[in-house]
Structure 1
């Protein structure tokens, strides 16, 4: 059986006159777009434009809901109740659904952003609220979550399709969580190292943690970032490397 994996990227993060990311170039190589829904980034104009580009490029449309935190780019933890999280997920998916309908498509997946994603990886109540919101809106939506996280577990418990996500440019702690961005070793800057780690995660289902131990991991979808100086070149090199290794690149999950 041939290996396959999804390549996803956070897109549509510009707003107003503020431009961010290399969306157009990255779109040529990915299979899933996580489109900001206006809370942590993006706005109504950017959302419509980005959905249109994804449809034109045959890239799966996904909602990327986060905390209402433009100044902190959604990366600051907040004290929120499960009910608040449920409502902010519903609100942002609803906005994205409207733009998807304009192009005759639907949201294929949902991936929480930033601090919300990180908190839901370990907080069972928040993870359950996200999974419940997605399930009640559309049971066909695939829920993206950190591999082996509470979000993945709650998505499965709810009856959703889930895609376990790994990161091309992030390091891991021994417990399988991502190294906090505030740590000096949180990001991997060497392209060859990143690509080698991704291929290992897909083919061998393991990754080296910061303490040197090998931890098990499931790679259904790989997150690449589109806002770095060399983002487009990296995504292209990674996609070509995966193909050379005999790994097919296609959207996560089975259509329902």
Structure 2
């Protein structure tokens, strides 16, 4: 199972994340495209860092919400969503082209990601935006116990799908992420993060907030590297997954 991480989310003098410490341990970098975080120089530098460590690059577009870090739901039309997806992919693709790096997938961020998973019209708008940029460019979305509906929609636009699960987020019995506003929604203990990552890698499941086993069909595991604890957990996950393959 490949490790993916949200990267390049600093903005000007404001620094977020520990990209240089995290990049050596991940396989896929979801690089912010300027709408929720990042700026042209940060985007350029993050693509360069990914190239240095041979990490696959993906676009990480969002609603136009710098103040809210892309976590606020916005009442955009489907035409607007399609256009903002195309716009952000194109911006990152320019830096990838400059450095002879392929743009390999798209993963929406924050509220746009959550809305995509709950509103079929928004998912279709995003699929159209991705397809408008390039044929066969994969879209990453949240793994569910049954991914068939998403796969059927994506097939209409010839967009391959990548399904991800989360190492540091608590799940509900419905296989959805627990609301961030609720206690325990984001794991803070390294052991929790590593244990869930290994459960996903070995068994394709998570343990819900009610203690039930939830099966998830995932291709990639999302990890977050915004503090020293997270970076240490990512290093342990990478090491454990490497050992499990041997």
Fold shared per TM-score above 0.5: yes
The 10-residue stretch of structure 1 (111-120 or 227-236) with the greater mean CA deviation from structure 2: 227-236
Does structure 2 conserve the Cα–Cα contact (< 8 Å) formed by 1:147 and 1:217? yes
Q: Does 1:15 align with 2:14?
A: no
* Equivalent in the alignment of 1:82: 78
Report if aligned partners of 2:37, 2:69 keep a CA contact under 8 Å in 1: yes
Measured after TM superposition, the shift of residue 228 of structure 1 is 2.3
Which of 143, 163, 180 lines up with 2:139 in the alignment?
143
Higher relative contact order (CA 8 A, sep 6+): 1
Kindly tell me: are residues 123 and 99 of structure 1, through their superposed partners in 2, closer, same or farther at Cα, counting changes over 3 Å? same
User: 1:112 & 1:20 partners in 2: Cα distance?
Assistant: 18
In structure 1, what is the Cα distance between the partners aligned to 2:179 and 2:152? 22
Please list every run of 5 or more consecutive structure 2 residues that lacks an aligned counterpart in the other structure.
none
Alignment of 1:10-89 (within 5 A): 10-89=6-85
Mean Cα displacement is larger for which, 37-46 or 74-83?
A: 74-83
User: Runs of 4 or more off by more than 4 Å in structure 1?
Assistant: 149-153
Superposition CA RMSD, Å: 1.5
2:103 counterpart SS class: coil
Paired residue secondary structure (1:158)? coil
Change (3 A) 1:39 1:153: farther
Moved more, 10-19 or 208-217: 208-217
Distance across 2 between alignment mates of 1:58 and 1:136? 27
Alignment of 1:1-256 (within 5 A): 5-148=1-144, 154-246=153-245
Q: Distance in 2 between matches of 1:177 and 1:191?
A: 21
Please name the residue that 1:252 is paired with: none
Taking structure 1 as the reference length, what is the TM-score of the superposition? 0.90
Quote the offset at 1:105 in angstroms: 1.9
- Kept in 2: contact 1:11–1:35 (CA 8 A): yes
TM-score between both structures, scaled by the size of structure 2: 0.94
The alpha-carbon distance between structure 1 residues 197 and 231, as it changes in their structure 2 partners (threshold 3 A), is closer
Instruction: Supply the distance in 2 between the matched residues of 1:111 and 1:152 (Cα, whole angstroms).
Output: 15
Between 32-41 and 207-216, the greater mean CA deviation after superposition: 207-216
Q: How many corresponding residue pairs? A: 243
1:26: how far off? 0.4
Do the aligned residues in 2 keep the contact of 1:86 with 1:129 (CA within 8 Å)? yes
Over residues 178-205 of structure 1, what are the superposed CA-to-partner deviations in whole Å (9 max), with x where a residue is unaligned?
Answer: 1111111211122122212122122212
The answer to which of 153-162 and 107-116 deviates more is 153-162
Deviation at 1:157, TM superposition (A): 4.2
Give yes or no for contact 1:163–1:221 (8 Å, CA) kept in 2. yes
Shift of 1:218: 1.5
SS at match of 1:45: helix
